[in-house]
Structure 1
Amino acid sequence: MGARNGSSQEPGSPAARADAGRQARTRVPPASHAELPTDGRPGGVAVLTGQIPSRLPELVPIRHARMLTSPFAFYRGGAAIMAGDLARTPVSGFTAQLCGDAHLSNFGMFASPERALVFDINDFDETLPGPWEWDLKRLAASLVVAGRQNGFRRKEIRRTVVESVRAYRDAMAGFAAMSNLDVWYTRVDVALLRQRMARELGKRAGKRVDKGIAKARLRDHRHTLAKLTEVVDGERHIVDAPPLVVRVSSLVLEATADQIEDVVTGMVHSYASSLAPGYRELVRSYTFVDMARKVVGVGSVGTRCWIVLLRGRDDDDPLFLQVKEAQPSVLAAHLGPTTESNEGARVVAGQRIMQAAADAFLGWDRVAGIDGTSRDFYVRQLRDWKGAVEVERMAPEGMRLYGRLCAWTLARAHARSGDRIAIAAYLGDDDVLPQAVADFADAYADLNEHDFADFAAAVARGDLAAAEPTAVR
């Protein structure tokens, strides 16, 4: 597979690095990436069952219910399942910092620190250095799973996957020819992306992007304040909507308001030490208002996640932080544990390496929980112009364009840490690898459907609990 810490550039001249990539094509032919070994595979239900002990038991049925809604939702929640499957596949030997969960719904829009709207990967819970092929194959398989769910024809899905892998290949070739600084500064500006979509898909597509941009820009801290809080007897607090949103005062009944404030204020000040000077002082200039546990996502449901409301100069100057538990990456069982001393630091490091513009408030800490157990967390803004594409509503031509965009973005993220010259040489300029990955993705979508059926049967038998409650608000 190559060095465990292969997130640094390989030594040697560009010619030597390219030669290493071409030699790898001989050792591990690109056509071999069509393979999907399943011998000794534990099965999806067994993997999901193994994750239950690390989750809050009262939230596990919600996770299962969300995964039960469709094969694509199941795929989203099954990163640990696919990690084990990818560990059996051929690899070229070149590594990069991985997202670890690079499916379609983990890309989106958000604000850069300079207040520009950018497009990038936006989930790094599973990040770890590893084979670049694993991220690419997870993205490719998500295109097949989503395409089938949307009722696309097999030929349309195949075209989408092949074009997306080609986009990754061509982007890596472009990055291989660029300077290190040029690669590092490259990003996707949403304003330019909007022009491209309107040009390729027509004015209606441009208008849909405009609507998405406008919606994303509304998602700031003041909008969140209006959506998640209310004022009662002159005091603002987060609205309880159990079990999806539960205030910390409702969970820790024996604690007084002053005790909770002291603990959270200490946590915020401690986390701020992981930020750059300037942002460290900015965070510490806010005062604590309220805190609640919040259920988020699909695969993350059951891990501990908190939202913290802070106040600046007055009530109209809010800051919402998301404090999310960082458990070991699902890749760690196959690649080895993180070299970071804190799983939250692992997430933050991976995000800073892969994203072109990371959240300035992104940091980490180790916090003692209600049960007295210390756990690792990472912290970021709850919402900051965050916007995502509704994959379930995409037409074939839209998914083709989106797949190419995600693949280009993934290549740029990998080029920032891996040996882009060697990887580009390995990819070559032919269609062997795109076709092989398309074969793999089609086979993996079949396997995902089989696991989904087993999962649904386990729920029906009562072996796994699944219940999605209706939130109060």
Structure 2
Amino acid sequence: MARSAHAFVRGNTRQFYTWLEQAGRSLPQGPTLWICGDCHVSNIGPVADREGEIDIQVRDLDQAVLGNPAHDIVRLAVSLATAARGSDLPGVVTTRMVEELIEGYERAMGGGRKILRIVERPDSMRVVMKAAMKRRWKHLARERMNGTHPIIPEGRRFWPVTAAEEAELHALTASEGMRQLVTRMIHRDDAAALELVDAKYWVKGCSSLGRLRYALLVRVLTPGQRDELCLVDVKEAIAAAAPSTAPGDMPADNAERVREGAVHLAPNLGERMLTGRIGGRTVFVRELRPQDLKIDLEQLDERQAMEVARYLGNVVGRGHARQLTWKLRKAWLAELSRNRPQSIAAPSWLWRSVVELVAAHEAAYLEHCRKFAHHIGPDD
């Protein structure tokens, strides 16, 4: 999180909602639907479906809740604004990015009764898609395991599991639910069997702090065919930081909540998820596919920044719009179009929220870096 202000924003979901509430700024109350809850840039990217087709969708649903869609819009806008600052882009570009984001979002909402209007994919997103389409198992293995050999090497990222954990992970792999999940991929035989080759605790950034996270190397055994290896992610589901407008209508089980959010917001991912329990804790399970990538916006020029903002706004807008009737979409569009100042095409509630939250994140980021610097010491 100390690496950049943008990384700090990505790792600060809970504080984001605290600051948003403390600001006292009133957001429009949109229709209750499944929202990402942590809708920053890196949580959107290419995601493969069970047939190998790829689309850019929300790719992390840990914070998914039935909530106010305005929260996703603000979270994405703040993420884009900090990415722009990291690229040394002037403030006027950030203003335009917020305008483009809301334009792309509204375009998805206003397509018609059954058609969602799609923004043309910018060149920078085409590059990401081409890279995703070319990826194979060997690329995933080299990134995640430092090689294609059937073992997950211990080190900074992968730690040994206890005997009790290993027994439960073996049982999970042997379950019918896991077999159906892995063989759901179109190129695999429905009758294939699974074998757990290796299992490690996975140290994976902020998403593994204080919770269970495992990487499973699984062999797919099909009679008469060559064995295939796959990598399965097992992650504990914890209570969402994002506020819900209908908590009673969500699954009480956090893993089921995550899976349900994925089904509605990211169908490619939702159809590839399973829930279970490890060590008495609820977990969600998915096979990692080589084509699943995050979008990295470390360096943007002015044109790219505005194109990406418009496109990602449209991606999120389509995820929301798929859940709404035409009547609800029209009502939400009307609400979004209110309070537009003459000096900026974005709603005033969105622009003021971005200004206040970017300022709060900048101050907190510098304080975080000061504490981090003292923690590691001058010789580290």
Q: Which band: TM-score by shorter chain?
A: 0.7 to 0.9
1:425 aligns with 334
The equivalent position to 1:132 in structure 2, one of 69, 76, 79, is: 69
Change over 3 Å in CA distance of 1:319–1:452 after alignment to 2: same
Residues 194 and 219 in structure 2, CA contact (< 8 A), matched pair in contact too:
yes
Does structure 2 conserve the Cα–Cα contact (< 8 Å) formed by 1:225 and 1:318?
Answer: no
Structure 1 partner of 2:113: 178
SS in 1 for 2:233: strand
Name the counterpart of 1:353: 264
Displacement of 1:301 in angstroms is: 3.8
Relative distance call for 1:271 and 1:152 in structure 2 (3 A) is: farther
Please report the TM-score for the alignment, with normalisation by the length of structure 1: 0.68
Cα offset, 1:282, TM superposition: 4.5
Q: CA deviation at 1:172?
A: 1.4
| Secondary structure of the corresponding residue to residue 62 of structure 2 | coil
Deviation at 1:247, TM superposition (A): 3.5
**CA–CA separation in structure 2 for the residues paired with 1:449 and 1:298:** 19
- Would you say the 8 A contact 1:128–1:350 is kept in 2? yes
Alignment counterpart, residue 308 of structure 1, candidates 216, 223, 236: 216
| Higher alpha-carbon Rg | 1
Whether the 8 Å contact between 1:107 and 1:388 is mirrored in structure 2 is yes
- Give the direction of change, closer, same or farther, for the CA distance of 1:396–1:422 in structure 2 (3 Å limit): same
- TM alignment of 1:79-228, pairs within 5 A: 79-87=13-21, 88-93=24-29, 94-174=31-111, 177-179=112-114, 182=115, 193=121, 197-198=122-123, 209-210=126-127, 212-225=128-141, 228=145
Q: Quick one: distance in 2 between partners of 1:173 and 1:283? A: 44
Confirm whether residue 440 of structure 1 aligns to residue 346 of structure 2: no
Paired AA for residue 141 in structure 1? V
How many residues of Structure 1 are paired with residues of Structure 2 in the alignment? 362
Larger deviation, residues 348-357 vs 306-315: 306-315
Alignment-derived partner of residue 450 in structure 1: 363
CA distance in structure 1 between the aligned counterparts of 2:26 and 2:232, rounded to whole angstroms: 40
Aligned equivalent of 1:291: 199
Aligned-pair CA distance for 1:98: 1.0
Task: Give the conservation status (yes or no) of the 8 Å contact 2:216–2:231.
Answer: yes
Shift in alpha-carbon separation, 1:431–1:454, aligned structure 2, 3 A: same
Structure 2 counterpart of 1:17: none
Match of 2:293 in 1: 387
Percent of aligned pairs sharing the same letter = 22
Q: 2:107, 2:147 → 1: CA distance?
A: 51
Change (3 A) 1:187 1:271: farther
Deviations 1:314-344 (A, max 9, x none): 7751121100111110125897577313211
CA contact (8 A) 1:355 1:413 kept: yes
Deviations 1:138-164 (A, max 9, x none): 111111111111100111111111111
CA distance in 2, matches of 1:273, 1:224: 20
Aligned to 1:108, the other structure's residue is in SS state strand
Give the TM-score normalised by structure 2. 0.83
Q: Which segments of 5 or more consecutive residues in structure 2 lack a partner in the other structure?
A: none
Secondary structure of the structure 2 residue equivalent to 1:320 = strand
Give the partner amino acid of 1:385: Q
Deviation of residue 366 (structure 1)? 1.5
Cα root mean square deviation, aligned: 3.3
Q: Secondary structure at the match of 2:269?
A: coil
